[in-house]
Amino acid sequence: MPTFHISSKKGDFSDTILMPGDPIRAKYIAKNYLDDFKKINETRLMLAYTGYYKNKKISVMSHGIGIPSSALYVKELISYYNVKKIIRIGTCGAIRHDIKLRDIVISLGASTDSKFNRIRFNFHDYAAIADFEMTYNAFLTAKKNNIKVHIGNFFTTDSFYTDDSMLNILNKYNIIGIDMETAGIYSVAAEFKAKALSICTVSDHIFKKEFISSKDRESSFNDMITLSLETALLV
Ligand code: HPA
């Protein structure tokens, strides 16, 4: 077995990968956006595909939910499969009133309630940040394609059902998206000298108690997928 959790051969992955949380979404992206794609992993049903987008070789693989799952896949992809550029394409919660369901948010950095980064950073506060060039390219691509994006600080939580007392603090500190992976993905990418960026669609508004149905999710992801693939062409 090449790594603990991935059964692909060396060379099966592109150096550039899109990573949704959900394996079904990985399959959706491969089927609808990639030419000549082939499935390269199904261990634990964490589906991975490699194909071509506008003649560029691109891989897509799900990373599961939470820092423990996403961080181990990212680590194995970088250190064994030579992946160098990672774009997480996920969903997130929102709390700011001007950020709406289906809006696209890009994580410039990610605060967290997880101890994952502290443990690895000798219990100091690690500033988990996106790769600048990828962020810049995503911003330019969004402008060029008339896709509205919010860019700012995320909060990565270990607990989907976040304690209510935290929500006002997140709002006060101008957090634009709440997810469960970005802070871990950014620190693992930094440790192994790869580039990473998280682009998310807002799937639920926590204060307004609104969410998009799993059926509606599919269509609202298309702008984010296009933005991510076009960004991947530039990095
Ligand atoms: N909280 C944490 N992670 C999430 C959320 C949320 O509201 N929505 C999608 N991922």
Q: What is the pLDDT of residues 106-158, one digit of tens each?
A: 999 999 999 999 999 999 999 999 999 999 999 999 999 999 999 999 999 99
Alpha carbon of 101 to ligand 1 centroid (Å): 12
Q: What is the pLDDT of residues 153-208, one digit of tens each?
A: 999 999 999 888 899 999 999 999 999 999 999 999 999 999 999 999 999 999 99
pTM given for the model: 0.97
Q: Is the CB of 173 under 6 A from ligand 1?
A: no
- Nearest residue to 67 via CA among 183, 174, 195: 183
98 an active-site residue?
no
Give the residue, by CA position, lying nearest to ligand 1 atom 6: 93
- For the CA atoms of 80, 84, 89, 94, what is the dihedral angle to 10 degrees? 110
User: Of 15, 204, 216, 223, which one is the catalytic site residue?
Assistant: 204
Under 8 Å between Cβ of 84 and 57: no
pLDDT at 215 over 80: no
Tell me, what's the pLDDT at 92? 98
Alpha carbon of 90 to ligand 1 centroid (Å): 10
Alpha carbon of 54 to ligand 1 centroid (Å): 32
